[in-house]
Amino acid sequence: MSEYNNLQLDEIDPSGAITESLEAAQDVTAGQTRADFLKKFAVGASGIAIAGALASPAGALAQNVSGTNSTKQDIAILNYALTLEYLEQAFYVQAVNAKKLNSRNAYFAKVVASHETAHVKALLATIPKLGGKPVGKPKFNFRGTNGNDKTFLATSLALEETGVAAYLGQVTRIYNDAVLKAAGSIVTIEARHAAWVRTILGLNPAPKAFDGSRTINGTLAIVKGTKFIVG
């Protein structure tokens, strides 16, 4: 049995980031519109800059709440994905550079960091081809979660599984076949990351037959709850 099976939440989540993310996700109601979500969770410069970090895709997605698929909506979805990839890339790159993980986890972080960097580059190249402008990279503070093995693995699992659900949540809203293919090729890698870290933790790498999806509102609630985006 893995040592992680008996961990208490406060041991792997001393800063409260994971707990807060779960609570934030539970606060999002199914009937909320994109505008309602941003009004509820967007804060000023002294807090989390979710609205600023996602300004471009937020505006585009708010105009497409009817579900009408279009290239414009694809650009919004790609910018949404880009912000999530920025977050994951920064998390793993910082973990690698800190050199505080054991050899097994450091190798995992190095490989995944290279994947997330490739995802960021691909999205940065794709968005202009559709006539859009990529969102800028936010500033992050991971609150020490990538500074030791236990919190690194717990946070990694949360990020990877959130990423899988986020991509799946946009599948039916994508208009261009090329964009759908790109999203499909990324989400499978995110799922491999999740299975990998689950294996490291001694958990079932494939606990269910079907993965669930998550709406943009639900995903951003989790991002907001982590307090990782600070500007």
DSSP, collapsed to helix, strand or coil, labels residue 140 as: strand
pLDDT of residue 69: 78
Residues 84-122 have pLDDT tens digits of 999 999 999 999 999 999 999 999 999 999 999 999 999
pTM, rounded to two decimals? 0.73
Q: Does the pLDDT of residue 174 top 80, yes or no?
A: yes
Percent above pLDDT 90 for the chain: 64
DSSP, collapsed to helix, strand or coil, labels residue 40 as: helix
Nearest alpha-carbon partner for 217 in 16, 17, 23, 58: 58
Q: What is the overall mean pLDDT for the chain?
A: 78
Architecture of domain 15-226: Up-down Bundle (1.20)
Task: Judge whether 34 and 62 are in contact, CB under 8 Å.
Answer: yes
Q: Where are the domains of the chain?
A: 15-226
- Greater confidence, 3 or 222? 222
Q: 62 forms bridges with which residues in the sheet? A: none
- Greater confidence, 54 or 173? 173
Q: Does the pLDDT of residue 161 top 90, yes or no?
A: yes
Residues 175-203 have pLDDT tens digits of 999 999 999 999 999 999 999 999 999 99
5-14, 35-44, 63-72 — which is least confidently predicted?
A: 35-44
- pLDDT band (50, 70, 90) for residue 222: confident
Task: Judge whether 131 and 215 are in contact, CB under 8 Å.
Answer: no
Question: What are the E-state strand segments in 19-165?
Answer: none
Q: How confident is the model over 144-160, as a mean pLDDT?
A: 95
